[in-house]
Chain A
């Protein structure tokens, strides 16, 4: 494979810096065009990203994908009327056409009192160094070798591992410039690298698949390839022989990687868009208990090296560390400028979502949580989007393990868990110390004392 040359970035060299600067120049150009076409204000996000991924399956290279993307999005305001447009073509003519398209749309949209840029006094004034940029000097051949090591470890782990969906190593750098006509220009750039592995096991003619992945801004922080492969294999083998359980009500322990989904359902109900549309089961809950009383949920947008970290949000507003839930009580919503104006409140710097949302971990490790649960269902996988954001009704397909006497007894599949999220949040009895830090929502394993499990 000696002729392969990685097109990914090798170091944050001049070429990256120069390219980022070009994005800023383009952003200026977009704003000038908007002004020239009569817009009273405008904002734009111009981004580029580049990287590659190498996938190995059954010891052979399966796919090499080179990624190189760019995009430009512009929103124009004519007083309180707005229009947006985007393009992947950065030619001057294409940019002009794109801004014109946004202006045309703005002619037909309705006046909206709340439309407009973020208030100037909320814009970020300093860009904090969040240590997000760690280019990985890796060739395609090296990535292939790493993926092979990962998959080989998984396949060699247990005789019951019968097949593989492969292992993938991915590296990526992205940068985005956000600018608006209130004078804000900010650059956010960062790298992200990952490795994943998925294998298939077989027992008495029945197959199971599971996977594991590692992901980090800095490749030094990735789990070892052998560890990823081993965990993928362990998870797959653990599922062999899964069966249904009887329909019952019992405690449920969400393993950390799936526990984070509960946080995302919570955020779905306290974000501005859902609130002003009254499409939330947590309307008018500020100051009221929404979780069990020892639960704290906080946003940490300035964590070094974290996946969600950012100095400013999607409209240039300074992000800040804060508690959203304290002692179980809802302290704050999750708002951008538009939804804040709709609700008569202030933006919380959440245009584009929350950044590094964490539920405060408790003291118990995973094994201790299983013992604490005693008898119940350990959930390791959730499927299907069975969440009603208006009512809080919750019903999802799960796979996991039946636990009795504080010990795992057998794998479980083809069952559902259901309840209302309001109740589930109030009935959290433990949050584990085993926090999964790979994603934007960070949680330890979560134990809920009573949930309906439907099976046989």
Chain B
């Protein structure tokens, strides 16, 4: 890990000539009797993207983003400034602007903790993913997606695919002496197809990735994604109108865990609970789910898209139990909200980039496996919906109302899956949806690495997962009354 720190320092600080004394100078500028906490977040990120359509890789792009975000916290107040220039004068100016938040406090010398590099277990490789495959091979990989999709079925009319790799180097220096670096690879392959039959057109999409090099996308995996996208699109060719109204809903394993992210996860983020604006505020210790439900947020899973060795405040990530056997256990915290609530950070302080303030965010959020066989769960349904794929969701944290949008779903009648239905929104109430979970499957799966979560305009990669689950009564937003 000290190698990581050295690398980050050489990548970010050395080119600008910034050294330890400069950081000290910056922190003395940021300190004062009213400042409870201050940190400086350096970032150097490279991203490369290639896109295929109409059988050709027609476009590619490369971007470099580097800069520093400086924050000073005083009580509940936060001052924040950032700069994409890393020279000392720009940093001192930004520090002055951030520092101004602490009212009237005169600068005074404070004893800064000695700056010590901290070490953490690494959850992913430090290799720059952009360099893990030659440019020509990146193009070939996308062309292979096209071939696999078209070979799968003659009804495939359009194939679109994209390959994105990111190499993100961050260095966090805290007022408390912390100096932590992380090197984060992230790759993603996405496939989207349109199939036609007569005058009907439908789409399907699939993909995945994680904190890997591009060698993660083996020939087998590329084929799997391409075939999955085609399969989904073909299923939708036969889809009939979805029903409208409240009914039993069985969710498939894996990505449908987006339910947990929306219905439970956001409402358990520390900021909303510190402010008392979440539908879950003040409910720790209460029963919010049936006993079969245990939900965790875990940033420590190696190579997962939502994982981080350390969060964006330099705190080691952990597994945080959110709901245990139906009882609400805990919130997800960053340092700011943790301090104000008198608890410890859970390593959930995340930010989109140096130009954004950190806040409590999820990592990988999932429900642990239960005891039921998935077949048994479906077999138990007299009439309802079986939803296995979703395009996303959203939640109103204060009222607790959440939606998530099914992209592949089926009718279930007398325990049998009958026919596919068109995409429909499912809507429910976060604090009570899990009290209607009557069966939890033994088939826990995590998603393939496709999730991006947006909060207050900031996008961060996340993961979700769950076993098959039966919910007794959720409103399905179809058209068929």
Contact = CB atoms under 8 A, between A and B. Distances in A.
Contacts of A208: 398-399
Contacts of A454: 244-245, 427, 475-478
A239 B246 CA distance: 22
B275 A418 contact: no
B101 interface: yes
Nearest to B47: A86
B279 A207 contact: yes
B76 A62 contact: yes
Contacts of B112: none
A425 to B, nearest CB: 15
A200 B357 CA distance: 23
Contacts of B82: 66-68
Interface stretch (B59-67, B164-172, B341-349): B59-67
A83 interface: yes
A419 B425 CA distance: 11
Given A277-B160, A277-B194, A383-B394, A416 B475 contact: yes
B67 A104 contact: no
Interface stretch (A20-28, A87-95, A172-180): A87-95
A87 B64 contact: yes
A415 interface: yes
Contacts of A85: 61-63
A60 B395 CA distance: 27
Interface in A74-103: 82-89, 94, 97-98, 101-102
A73 B345 CA distance: 38
Interface in A255-283: 277-279
A63 B275 CA distance: 14
A5 B98 CA distance: 11
Contacts of B60: 83-84, 105-106, 108-109
Contact of A82 (B58, B81, B422): B58
Interface residues on B, range: 35 or more
Contacts of A70: 84
B409 to A, nearest CB: 11
Interface stretch (A213-221, A311-319, A389-397, A441-449): A389-397
Contacts of A279: 158, 194, 203
B303 interface: no
B481 interface: yes
Query: Which of A64, A277, A416 has the most chain B CB atoms inside 10 A of its CB?
Result: A416
B313 interface: no
B315 interface: no
Interface in B400-422: 401-405, 422
Interface residues of A, number: 84
Nearest to B405: A386
Contact of B398 (A4, A209, A417, A452): A209
B425 A86 contact: no
B77 A61 contact: yes
Contacts of B67: 88
B355 interface: yes
B77 A247 contact: no
B478 A105 contact: no
B425 A414 contact: no
Given A384-B393, A395-B424, A3 B100 contact: yes
B197 interface: no
A331 to B, nearest CB: 24
B103 interface: yes
A82 B202 CA distance: 30
| A-B pairs with lowest CB-CB distance, top 9 | A416-B477, A384-B403, A397-B403, A209-B398, A110-B56, A454-B244, A105-B60, A247-B245, A66-B81
Interface of A: 1-5, 7, 57, 60-70, 82-89, 94, 97-98, 101-102, 104-112, 115, 140, 163, 165, 200, 206-209, 239, 242, 244, 247-249, 277-279, 381, 383-386, 388, 390-391, 393, 395-397, 399, 413-420, 452-456
14 contacts: A60-B76, A61-B101, A62-B76, A63-B79, A65-B357, A83-B62, A109-B139, A384-B392, A386-B424, A393-B422, A396-B477, A399-B401, A416-B244, A456-B246
Given A84-B60, A386-B424, A395-B477, 4 more contacts: A84-B61, A97-B64, A244-B475, A454-B478
